[in-house]
């Protein structure tokens, strides 16, 4: 019996709803990295919610096709969520360092394609090649559901296990240089974000920089710990035939077995609770942001009006700071206007972005019985925490500057 039932089911379903609720207006802003983060996180929350309901107090193979698909998605999310974080950090770096970004249709398309390759295509490639160290289709854990795992052999590291830490390191490097650039331009940036019609306030901008620090502090330690935990029990690789000799076997494990193994218990529980932590972090920064609250109010107003109820309509007379600060566009357009501050390079195009923190997580592959539980391979998957978007920055030289507009 799951001691956390129905707490986990409630948490996972609420997180599924709240994480995806801001998706419509993020899509309007071309926020590819954040949108993909929401989709991956929301999908995994839904999968774990279904699993917690279907496999409560049982480990029966009710839905083989569902387990093949859902297990593979959860495995891929361990790579996809860190790559979404990397995509967001990359955008934030381009903004803070005043990198030239094209606002033409071709430039927008190229940037979106790049983001999709990072957030979707690459994780799908990892999902495919993770078949190499995969010992069987999936395992079913009572109270948890079906999990696709890989054997703890050396091919598992270049194909799956090493990628979360690698991505976290790259993301952290972006975060470090973003923070350094921000500190070097603090006066100029503060002057811009606190003045003019596009002002968003220094408090929100500082919060984005703090998230970059959180990314550096949390991502690497968690990912490194999980990788070290797997390396300790690494098994020798024999052959392709040996690895896949029992691929069609579906392991079913009562909770009394996997919960009595301390290490396995920690990994299995972390594999499903880390996505809840990711979702809660995202919700804290996005779902209840000022722009989101205003959009919720508009939806509630429209629904109540249709049913004959009367509530006050959300005001749009406040500063445009809500729209531009919380959900800025990804692609600014160039306007001829008065210079805000000068840079040494030519007039550059600035791209709007977001920052994020990240951290690791794990999932597992278990043994046939209590006796050989410690000997069998396990795998880890890493998720990352969420982010908030980067406010617009204008750069100029000799009268040229950038003004952010919604696409």
pTM: 0.73
Residue 243 pLDDT grade (very low, low, confident, very high; cuts 50, 70, 90): very high
Q: Does any domain span residue 173?
A: yes
Q: Does any domain span residue 162?
A: yes
User: Whole-number mean pLDDT of the chain?
Assistant: 73
Q: With 70 as the cut, is the pLDDT of residue 396 above it? A: no
As a whole-number percent, the residues of the chain with pLDDT over 70 amount to: 62
Q: What average pLDDT does this structure show over 126-135?
A: 94
Report the pLDDT value the prediction gives residue 14, as an integer from 0 to 100. Answer: 92
How confident is the model over 280-308, as pLDDT tens digits? 888 877 777 666 677 677 767 677 777 77
Report the pLDDT value the prediction gives residue 310, as an integer from 0 to 100. Answer: 65
Q: Does any domain span residue 300?
A: no
Q: Does any domain span residue 123?
A: yes
Q: What average pLDDT does this structure show over 373-397?
A: 43
Residue 206 pLDDT grade (very low, low, confident, very high; cuts 50, 70, 90): low
Contact between 93 and 176 under an 8 Å Cβ cutoff? The reply is no
How confident is the model over 304-344, as pLDDT tens digits? 777 777 666 666 544 444 334 333 343 443 443 333 333 34
Q: Does any domain span residue 154?
A: yes
Quickly count: other Cβ atoms within 10 Å of residue 335's Cβ. Answer: 12
User: Can you give the CATH number for the domain in which 194 is found?
Assistant: 1.20.1070
Report the pLDDT value the prediction gives residue 102, as an integer from 0 to 100. Answer: 56
Q: Does any domain span residue 387?
A: yes
Q: Does any domain span residue 1?
A: no
Q: Does any domain span residue 2?
A: no
As a whole-number percent, the residues of the chain with pLDDT over 90 amount to: 29
Of 68-72, 135-139, 317-321, 357-361, which range is least confident?
Answer: 357-361
Report the pLDDT value the prediction gives residue 191, as an integer from 0 to 100. Answer: 65
Domain range enclosing 191: 7-289+327-403
* More confident site: 348 or 307: 307
Q: With 90 as the cut, is the pLDDT of residue 119 above it? A: yes
- If one counts the domains in the chain, the total is 1
């Amino acid at each position: 019996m799951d001691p956390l039932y129905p707490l986990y089911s409630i948490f996972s379903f609420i997180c599924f709803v709240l994480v995806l609720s801001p998706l419509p207006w993020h899509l309007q802003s071309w926020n590819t990295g954040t949108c993909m983060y929401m989709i991956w996180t929301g999908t995994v929350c839904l999968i774990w919610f279904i699993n917690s309901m279907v496999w409560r107090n049982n480990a029966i193979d009710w839905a083989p096709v569902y387990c093949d698909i859902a297990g593979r998605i959860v495995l891929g999310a361990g790579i996809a969520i860190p790559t979404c974080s990397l995509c967001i950090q990359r955008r934030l770096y381009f903004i803070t360092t005043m990198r030239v970004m094209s606002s033409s249709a071709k430039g927008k398309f190229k940037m979106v394609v790049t983001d999709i390759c990072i957030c979707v295509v690459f994780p799908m490639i990892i999902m495919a090649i993770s078949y190499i160290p995969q010992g069987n289709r999936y395992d079913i854990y009572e109270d948890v559901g079906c999990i696709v795992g890989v054997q703890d052999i050396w091919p598992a590291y270049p194909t799956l296990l090493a990628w979360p830490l690698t991505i976290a390191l790259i993301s952290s490097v972006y975060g470090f240089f973003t923070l350094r650039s921000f500190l070097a331009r603090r006066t100029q940036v503060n002057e811009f974000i606190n003045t003019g019609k596009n002002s968003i306030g220094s408090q929100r901008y500082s919060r984005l920089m703090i998230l970059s620090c959180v990314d550096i502090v949390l991502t690497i330690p968690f990912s490194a710990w999980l990788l070290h935990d797997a390396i300790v029990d690494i098994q020798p690789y024999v052959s392709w035939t040996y690895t896949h000799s029992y691929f069609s076997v579906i392991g079913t494990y009562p909770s009394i077995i996997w919960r009595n193994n301390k290490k396995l218990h920690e990994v299995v529980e972390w594999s499903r609770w880390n996505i809840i932590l990711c979702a809660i972090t995202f919700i804290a920064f996005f779902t209840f942001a000022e722009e989101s609250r205003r959009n919720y109010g508009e939806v509630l107003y429209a629904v109540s009006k249709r049913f004959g109820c009367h509530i006050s309509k959300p005001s749009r007379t406040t500063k445009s700071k809500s729209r531009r600060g919380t959900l800025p566009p990804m692609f600014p357009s160039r306007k001829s206007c008065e210079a805000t501050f000068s840079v040494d390079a030519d007039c550059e195009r600035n791209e709007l972005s977001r920052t994020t923190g990240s951290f690791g997580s794990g999932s597992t592959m278990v043994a046939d019985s209590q006796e050989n539980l410690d000997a069998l391979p396990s795998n880890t998957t890493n998720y990352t925490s969420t982010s908030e978007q980067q406010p617009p920055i204008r750069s100029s030289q000799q009268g040229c500057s950038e003004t952010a507009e919604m696409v």
